Structure 1
Amino acid sequence: MVVAYYLPEPLRVCLGGHPLFIFNTCPRDCYDTCAIVTKVRNGKLHSTEPNKKHPFTGDLLCPKGRNISQYVYSRQRILYPLRRTGEKGAGKFEEITWNDALKEIAENIREISLRHGPESILQFDYAGTMGLVQRYFPTRFFNVIGASRVSHTICSRAGEKALEIVYGSTLGMLPDEIEKCRLIVLWGMNPAWSSAHTFEMLKRAKKCGTKIYIVDPVKSATTELGTHLQIKPTTDAALALGIINHLIENRLCNEVFLDQNTTGFDRLVGAASKYDMTKICKTTGLKTREIEDFIGDFVSLRPNCIMIGYGMQRHRNGGEMVRAISILPALIGENRGFYYSTDLGDFDMDYLEGASLRTRMRVMHNMVDIGRTLQSNKVKMMFVYNSNPLATLPNQRLLRDGFMKKDIFTVVHDLFMTDTADHADIVLPATSFFEHFDIHTSYLHNYLSINEKAIEPIGEARSNSDVFRSLAKIMNLQTKELFEEDEKVARMLLSKSKSVEGKFEDLTKKGFLRMKVPNRSVYNTPTRKIELFSAAAEAEGLGGLPVHAEVRRTQPFILLSPVHKFLVRSQYHLRWPDIRPVVYISEKDAHEENIESGSMITLKNEFDEWSVTCETSDSVLPGVLVTYSVLWPKLCGGKNVNFVTTDFVQKYGQNAAFNSTFVKII
């Protein structure tokens, strides 16, 4: 019997071919990307601990990362391939062999390609795992067969596009730099729920004297850290432009930095002049004293950082808001004095995804309004993995009508019988991250980490990469790139990278490697400067300058739907099935609508209606409703908030606008 214990690095040796402990990485779509040390006993998970040597993970794992064995060994895991026997959505299936499942999938790929063209086969993937190999390697298969793909537009693309316009990339400050700031501004970000390590970092910084502001329409555990500016939803660009105007009028800008590093300041002056203090107070709901105090601290407390959250840019005008906010640090001479998304990897994605294997132009379908695409008869087959669209996407009624279509053959690869799996023709059992190999980067910190295979797959589960190698084999595809092994792919990525400080062998010894930070005084914009005015954005139809684009209400209430603290999108709801949907309303609105706290209400708009428990709260403003997502509809009486969320597509990055959903109470 081999027992794994957490031993000092030099003692990481093999006994009987088994390591004494395993390096893993949490693969969720989360800021922290925690490094884990896993103990294995008799071929089973014994315990998981944070890799305390990892500079960011330290000694902390969040509730989602602790006791993960309950997730891995759940009795609700899918163990064998399944074929649908009842109506779509009924959840009735029979067990079949992998050979039979793969043959049926292969036959449908061949037949549908011949009848409707290969682009009628849709690769439907997202970020269920963020590992580089398991997330991106399967695209090689879809490139070879010529399939179409969904664009990943439900999260952060609007903000990314905005920052690329201004700075040429999303790269801002790193956690160790942020912690040393004298002022930290959390703008639309709630790390108490979304990033446990960031929340701890903020508490340490506060103890050391750092002042913290939180700009957010909702009170939360994060707002208790500092001064809360409870802004009206969708008005953040107006606030930023008002601050810009104040800085300019009061000659508080760093003229030397602006002259050397920016372009378009004169045009910005004219655009910002429209936003005087009276106008922005009326627009945002904030008081003059609140805004002036913030500006005073922003100018005087240096260095400082604005941490920009993702929820804010999931509005109709989300890109405009991020664009305006991101200009503020440049005006006072704080080069890239923001955080949004750290993308340090220089990995060869063309190699990883097999871009050269594609022989025809790729057809892309926006994930946000994919329900409309399914109604257009352009798609005849979907292969869904790393995603649970029948929980996470907006306008669920229209989307489900598409998934119910009898002329669309659907394959789902997952660990559990999600709402999406219930609508599949074939369901394939997937591995957890303890059952396959991968490597990971973070969009917060600057470390690459390894995920070693700790245990054998449960039941007949297969990893993403194994599924598509198996499918390529049964289809007799000869392209050698389809059959590369996971570790070989990872080794190749590291060997080509100039940003990773170390080799693959170093990664296996430590569990993580540092990644170099590029020169942040280099701006990959057309002018090679910070573009306060952008001719390229103007030519693209996005406007040369940021503006406050008013979002007009179509119903009495705006409905915000941030993700629940125990969930990562829809992941883990099965682990916490007692989480029930609740909508929070202000005391004022509850009184006017004659609603008692704890009663059921029905929200309605042009998409659908949703009956849900309503509770009064002093955390929300009048005219605002808040509910936490993304719950599985099948665990909540058949519906979740996404039955009423909008599938509006923004101009910036064609991103989703979940939080610009308007409803009435009936």
Structure 2
Amino acid sequence: MDFTATPAVPETGVRTVVGACPHDCPDTCSFVTTVQNGVAVKVQGNPHHPQTGGVLCAKVSRYHERTHHPERLLTPLKRVGPKGAGRFEPVSWDEALDDIAARLQAIAARDPRAILPYSYAGTMGLVQGESIAARFFHRLGASWLDRTICASAGAAGLEYTLGTKQGMRVEHFAESRLILIWGSNSVGSNLHFWRHAQEAKRRSARLVCIDPRRSETADKCHEHIALRPGTDAALAYALIHACVQHGWVDHAYLAQHTVGWPQLRERALQWPPARAAEVCGVPVAQIEALARDIGACFEQQTPVAIRLNYGMQRVRGGGNAVRAVACLPAVLGAWRHRAGGLLLSSSGAFPVQRQVLQRPDLFAASGQAQPRVVNMSTIGDDLLRSTSAEFGPRIEALVVYNSNPVAVAPESSKVVQGFARDDLFTVVLEHFQTDTADYADYLLPATTQLEHWDVHASYGHTDVLLNRPAIAPVGQARPNTHIFRELARRMGYTDPCFQDDDETLCRQAYGDAVDFNALLRDGFVTLPLPEAPFAQGGFPTPSGKCEFFSERLAAQGLDGLPEVLPNHEAPGSDPRYPLAMISPPARNFLNSTFVNVQSLRDAEGQPLLEIHPADAADRGIVDGSTVRVFNDRGSYVCAARVSERARPGVVNGLGIWWRKLGLNGTNVNELTSQRLTDLGRAPTFYDCLVEVAPA
């Protein structure tokens, strides 16, 4: 069987192939790979795709460097040294897969729930992400992974309020008159939205950045509101308070298309700007000025738009904060305009046939009544748990693909302890020998996006994208789908679905909802969606309305209204650790991807902690000096950048460096906790108290 499902690549000549960026970014770009004599020599933005506009970020424009990287894994490897030492020897694919299948079968014979897959967004592709892999683990009866590590708190907040992960179309931000960029460094992490924001700015729109850090985006906005981490809901309520007080309220829209306005109004009146300013740590005049900007748009009937992002939800009250912000467009009636409303994610607009792709029905063949679910955000604790009635069987085998949990999961000292267990059988599918790969028993070389088929949704626009393989797999690399097909065959699974090749899987992902011939022709298809999704209501909630008050939450014993919740680690709660820390991504990395691309690592320099001049002076820290950042969970050594990008009382630990490339073999997640958010069971990376001292 041809595992690439693509014709043979010509040995000579130059050609171009249209593909799609696989990375965890809202832009989901279409790109064009130039191939010369079977080698990818250039990756460029597709000029024919309106959302990409021929432009790629600095990271993905170097994707061919990543594919042909000298440290690329090119053969299966078996561990020969102690776990974590990163010592391996080459083995054949047959030897590796035969042994892996035998080890998994032996564990499954005792209890298949002791086997756990661990994956996330190393690729956002629907095929290489979760198709044959999901079928394999469902058929096996393995534990299910609760994939919470990035977006589930914000997703829950949207779904309880709007009923879906959907909002404005990104291109319509260009027509907005006031844009609130809330919890997003768009210049570095949402470049193509920023293009539309800049167009709006040229048309005299006002841009306001709401973010604890003075990011590159904040530099380019008219106003920056540097609130404390975890106080976004208080700011949202203060803005609603001002709308009520000044009559900037669309009563007709509220009456027809919302539920719970009297209750929301009453709670908002408890949050005058002065109270919110004290909680948020910003001047009351800033909140009042933003409220006036909103009011001016309301009075002039011009649209207000909010580009919300996931940074704000990585605290205890993150889900409720998203709920509070998501109420504001309905209060204003901003949804009436195609250039008004809110966008956090567009992923709910995509008619992905997940049941067809992932086949959860196969789980019944395992003979179990129900799956055991493990939260990926608590993997540190869970790998150290023993068998119990509450938890179930101890995790005996871990299969990691599309993720680097030793670097990215919170409280990484515990994650390392878990991965270092001698009795844990670990298989890692990877492109490079990452921090996680060092702990593998078997390390299997996976293909990159330039070497396989895939199809994509997006969470930042509304186009479906197709990725064609541009080159043959380098070395002995194999697609995820091929690896899991081969494991299924060795496990004796004869279900016909394991024979589906990758192009067939691409076709199954959307079924008849998307014209696959158009995807083959153009590389993308725009979904036929309304320009203003909630102009006439039609929210996919149980009530059919925007739910300020959620009966579903109330039925769970939770507050039906958005709450203002203090952080788990609220500033001032522990005098030993007086600084709050957030850990936004370094501009030249994407999560832990690209850290080993030398040109990007050179651009980033070294692991950095941004600290405000006043906080640095109090601690005898000078710019460029080496510092120790610490709390009860661990210690992280990095360089200090004394800068007003950090607000007083808050430090910014830029991530996510590989641990082994750090100054003391750790990264910023040595300090983060495994405590979860109010909604969505998500991690609280930005809810973290620390102290900083010269190293």
- Verify same fold: TM over 0.5: yes
Whole-angstrom CA distance in 1 between matches of 2:371 and 2:317: 29
**Residue number in structure 2 paired with 1:354:** 359
Q: Secondary structure at the match of 1:469?
A: helix
* Residues 1:298 and 2:294 are matched in the alignment: yes
1:509 to 485, 502, 521: 521
Q: Any residues of structure 2 matched to 1:524-603 within 5 Å, and which? A: 524-551=540-567, 552-553=570-571, 554=574, 555-575=577-597, 576-578=600-602, 579-603=605-629
Whole-angstrom CA distance in 2 between matches of 1:604 and 1:411: 32
* Residues 1:228 and 2:224 are matched in the alignment: yes
* Residues 1:37 and 2:41 are matched in the alignment: no
* Residues 1:341 and 2:345 are matched in the alignment: yes
Q: Any residues of structure 2 matched to 1:240-389 within 5 Å, and which? A: 240-301=236-297, 302-335=302-335, 337-343=341-347, 344-359=349-364, 360=368, 361-377=370-386, 378-389=394-405
**Residue number in structure 2 paired with 1:10:** none
Whole-angstrom CA distance in 1 between matches of 2:11 and 2:108: 48
Percentage of pairs with the same residue:
34
1:624 to 643, 650, 656: 650
Taking only aligned residues, the RMSD between alpha carbons, in angstroms, comes to: 1.7
* Residues 1:647 and 2:687 are matched in the alignment: no
Q: Any residues of structure 2 matched to 1:183-198 within 5 Å, and which? A: 183-198=178-193
Letter in 1 for 2:612: S
- Which shows bigger deviation, 97-106 or 615-624? 615-624
Q: Any residues of structure 2 matched to 1:444-459 within 5 Å, and which? A: 444-459=460-475
TM-score by length of 1: 0.95
Whole-angstrom CA distance in 1 between matches of 2:161 and 2:635: 40
- Please say if residues 78 and 90 of structure 2, whose CA atoms lie closer than 8 Å, have aligned partners that are also in contact: yes
2:507 to 480, 487, 491: 491
Whole-angstrom CA distance in 1 between matches of 2:32 and 2:267: 53
Q: Secondary structure at the match of 2:636?
A: strand
**Residue number in structure 1 paired with 2:130:** 136
- Please say if residues 623 and 641 of structure 2, whose CA atoms lie closer than 8 Å, have aligned partners that are also in contact: yes
Unaligned runs of 5+ in 2: 1-8, 387-393
* Deviation, structure 1 residue 68: 2.0
**Residue number in structure 2 paired with 1:665:** 692
* Deviation, structure 1 residue 364: 1.3
1:462 to 478, 489, 496: 478
Whole-angstrom CA distance in 2 between matches of 1:618 and 1:19: 49
Q: Any residues of structure 2 matched to 1:604-623 within 5 Å, and which? A: 604-623=630-649
Q: Secondary structure at the match of 2:99?
A: helix
Cα deviations across residues 245-304 of structure 1 (Å, max 9, x unaligned)?
221122221111100101111111221221122211212222232222211211322212
- Please say if residues 126 and 509 of structure 2, whose CA atoms lie closer than 8 Å, have aligned partners that are also in contact: no
Whole-angstrom CA distance in 2 between matches of 1:225 and 1:213: 6
- Which shows bigger deviation, 459-468 or 205-214? 205-214
* Deviation, structure 1 residue 15: 9.2
Q: Any residues of structure 2 matched to 1:86-125 within 5 Å, and which? A: 86-115=81-110, 117-125=111-119
Q: Secondary structure at the match of 2:377?
A: coil
- Please say if residues 17 and 32 of structure 2, whose CA atoms lie closer than 8 Å, have aligned partners that are also in contact: yes
Whole-angstrom CA distance in 2 between matches of 1:606 and 1:547: 29
TM-score by length of 2: 0.91
Letter in 2 for 1:505: N
Whole-angstrom CA distance in 2 between matches of 1:21 and 1:491: 23
* Residues 1:405 and 2:417 are matched in the alignment: no
- Please say if residues 577 and 635 of structure 1, whose CA atoms lie closer than 8 Å, have aligned partners that are also in contact: no
Whole-angstrom CA distance in 2 between matches of 1:182 and 1:83: 58
Alpha-carbon distance change, 173 to 570 in structure 1, aligned in 2, over 3 angstroms: same
**Residue number in structure 1 paired with 2:389:** none
* Deviation, structure 1 residue 65: 1.5
Letter in 2 for 1:309: N
**Residue number in structure 2 paired with 1:11:** none
- Which shows bigger deviation, 96-105 or 154-163? 154-163
- Which shows bigger deviation, 203-212 or 486-495? 486-495
Whole-angstrom CA distance in 1 between matches of 2:258 and 2:107: 53
Whole-angstrom CA distance in 2 between matches of 1:452 and 1:597: 47
Unaligned runs of 5+ in 1: 1-13
- Please say if residues 146 and 374 of structure 2, whose CA atoms lie closer than 8 Å, have aligned partners that are also in contact: yes
- Please say if residues 315 and 660 of structure 1, whose CA atoms lie closer than 8 Å, have aligned partners that are also in contact: yes
* Deviation, structure 1 residue 225: 2.3
Whole-angstrom CA distance in 1 between matches of 2:323 and 2:510: 33
* Deviation, structure 1 residue 17: 13
Whole-angstrom CA distance in 2 between matches of 1:570 and 1:226: 32
- Please say if residues 12 and 36 of structure 2, whose CA atoms lie closer than 8 Å, have aligned partners that are also in contact: no
Letter in 2 for 1:559: M
Whole-angstrom CA distance in 2 between matches of 1:664 and 1:16: 57
- Please say if residues 559 and 626 of structure 1, whose CA atoms lie closer than 8 Å, have aligned partners that are also in contact: yes
- Which shows bigger deviation, 15-24 or 31-40? 15-24
* Residues 1:66 and 2:61 are matched in the alignment: yes
Whole-angstrom CA distance in 1 between matches of 2:282 and 2:548: 26
Q: Secondary structure at the match of 1:40?
A: strand
**Residue number in structure 2 paired with 1:155:** 150
